[in-house]
Amino acid sequence: MPETADELARRVAAHMLSREGTGPAWGIAIEEMREGYARLSMTITANMLNGYGTAHGGMIFALADTAFAYACNSRNVSSVVQQASIVFLTAVREGERLTAEASEHGLAGRSGVYSVIVRNTLDAEVAVFQGLSRAIGGTVIAAG
Amino acid sequence: MPETADELARRVAAHMLSREGTGPAWGIAIEEMREGYARLSMTITANMLNGYGTAHGGMIFALADTAFAYACNSRNVSSVVQQASIVFLTAVREGERLTAEASEHGLAGRSGVYSVIVRNTLDAEVAVFQGLSRAIGGTVIAAG
Amino acid sequence: MPETADELARRVAAHMLSREGTGPAWGIAIEEMREGYARLSMTITANMLNGYGTAHGGMIFALADTAFAYACNSRNVSSVVQQASIVFLTAVREGERLTAEASEHGLAGRSGVYSVIVRNTLDAEVAVFQGLSRAIGGTVIAAG
Amino acid sequence: MPETADELARRVAAHMLSREGTGPAWGIAIEEMREGYARLSMTITANMLNGYGTAHGGMIFALADTAFAYACNSRNVSSVVQQASIVFLTAVREGERLTAEASEHGLAGRSGVYSVIVRNTLDAEVAVFQGLSRAIGGTVIAAG
């Protein structure tokens, strides 16, 4: 039985996570993967806090950027992040579990645009991210 | 019978368009308005072209920004654009009719985040826009 | 005597402006051109106003985007805008003359990053813009 | 002898760094602080790498965002990051030392716009960042 597009997306993301130095450092978990879509989660720990004692924007960006990377590589075409924009809406405290959901908004040629919404445990929006990817050729993993 | 949220959104957008110097200059048409949502259209004319003979990015941004403004004012709370980011995916020729669809992605306090997707007549994505609004207090029109 | 880099930049910008449908529509004037640098001006007219009676963000973006385009094409390598981000700081009234100054912030391969600062007559910042260009090959004008 | 604006900027940044959980986790060093200006450095370690074995975009953003935060708080007026946009230009390998230089581009009311350029050891641009801050009132440290 051939691999479906969503199964391939899951296999690509699992491979990417297993290769990342940041994956264990940040405690990234894959919640759901589909073609052009990723949902990840991460818990804010003490070493992710800024001087106000809330989650550093860099860590919120890092989670969103990882969800974006898994979504834009989900068709197993190696793609890199060219540009990203993020708006921060709500402060996040230590111990909160964040979820980042990446969806495809547009594709043309080698370019793709994705939005990522980061939510807290109460499902309130913490940050909204938009990213531009560029396919660089080659595959992430061997075809299934 | 009280006015619904979607009726109010339509009334606000119609009022805004009627007051804009740019509305007639650009030929903006309102296709659909709902609470937190706007869909507009505009045809690319000769005085909107750049040196390559395709639609100037400034005009594509202007259409997206207008849809964003109508969506973020749709609850009749005066709001202004603080920041916007746009990715251009496809060139647009003279005579093409563009549609811009603005949706709400996140709200917190006075801030709102909206995405706008601009499509051409063939429904291909031309540009993807993300904007940050700030409510400044007051209403756009008198309550219905 | 060979053409200098700055002379080439001036010639490219003059050519681009002469080909744009938007140039006369918007009243764009070239104030200064150098390699990787552009300074333009534009006066806000009645048909550039939004419903609040101030300059539409789309027109402020359009001026910044034009300065960016002239700067990123200044070496006579055809380049297009891929992405741009803008922050709006101050409202602008009818009759104000805006200046947009584009500078190069980074280059790598086919990509370039430029910032554009838009100021009003009192030299206060009206908007700050950052754009990503991509060289597409070919020249804008014949070599001098 | 009263404290100068640049001395205050140094004192604020040292205080912020000392309070951050991320400071030691990321190995952030302050190279130079002035009013409205910050220059930081950070070395890319194994737990900062993505699946391609290069620096994760999230870590490059995190460094730029930290420089931005120190610069926009440098007058000792508590300020938070509302929005940021980043372009990635060059991949970075393990062991490279990055420098992030944040400069002020515009101020109006409570809003500030800063650009940050991230460079590698060879002084090549790695990323260019633009951020929007908002002053929230209060001071970061007690006046000197």
Instruction: Return mean pLDDT, chain D.
Output: 95
pLDDT at C44: 97
Chain A residues lying within 8 Å of D42, measured CB to CB: none
Question: Is the CB of residue A89 less than 8 Å away from at least one CB of chain B?
Answer: yes
Phi, psi (rounded to 5 degrees) for B64: -60, -45
Residue A19: is it exposed, middle or buried by C-beta count within 10 angstroms (0-12/13-18/19+)? middle
pLDDT at C144: 54
Residue of B nearest to D131 (CA): B83
Work out the average pLDDT over A71-96. Answer: 96
Residue in D28, D119, D116, D31 with CA at minimum distance from that of residue D72: D116
| Subunit partners of chain C (3 or more CB pairs within 8 A) | A, B, D
Round the CA-based radius of gyration of chain D to a whole number and report it: 15
pTM for the complete prediction? Answer: 0.95
pLDDT at A23: 85
Identity of the residue numbered B98: L
Query: How many C×D Cβ pairs under 8 Å?
Result: 61
Round the CA-based radius of gyration of chain B to a whole number and report it: 15
Chain A residues lying within 8 Å of C85, measured CB to CB: 85
More confident residue, A24 or D82: D82
pLDDT at D65: 98
pLDDT at D101: 98
User: What pairs with residue B98 in β-bridges?
Assistant: B42
Residue of C nearest to A86 (CA): C85
Instruction: Render pLDDT for C15-31 as a digit per residue (tens, 0 to 9).
Output: 999 999 998 899 999 99
Chain D residues lying within 8 Å of A85, measured CB to CB: 83-86
Q: How far apart are CA C136 and CA D8, in angstroms?
A: 47
Residue in D130, D136, D37, D131 with CA at minimum distance from that of residue D77: D136
Chain A residues lying within 8 Å of D88, measured CB to CB: 80-83
The interface residues of chain D toward chain C in range 26-85, judged by CB-CB distance below 8 A, are 83, 85
CATH 3.10.129.10 is right for the domain spanning B5-135? yes
Contact at CB, D85 and C89, closer than 8 angstroms: no
pLDDT at B144: 54
Contact at CB, A47 and D58, closer than 8 angstroms: no
Q: Considering only the beta carbons, identify the residue of C89, C125, C130 that sits closest to D128.
A: C130
Q: How far apart are CA B20 and CA C59, in angstroms?
A: 13
Q: Considering only the beta carbons, identify the residue of D83, D115, D127 that sits closest to C115.
A: D115
Residue of C nearest to A111 (CA): C82
Which of C125, C133, C134 best probes binding to D when mutated, by most D CB atoms within 10 angstroms?
Answer: C125
Residue in D33, D31, D35 with CA at minimum distance from that of residue D13: D33
pLDDT above 80 for B1: no
Residue in B118, B126, C81 with CA at minimum distance from that of residue A108: B126
In the structure, what pLDDT confidence band is assigned to residue D144 with cuts at 50, 70 and 90? low
Instruction: Render pLDDT for C22-64 as a digit per residue (tens, 0 to 9).
Output: 988 999 999 999 999 999 999 999 999 998 899 999 999 999 9
3-class DSSP assignment, residue B141: coil
Contact at CB, C132 and A85, closer than 8 angstroms: no
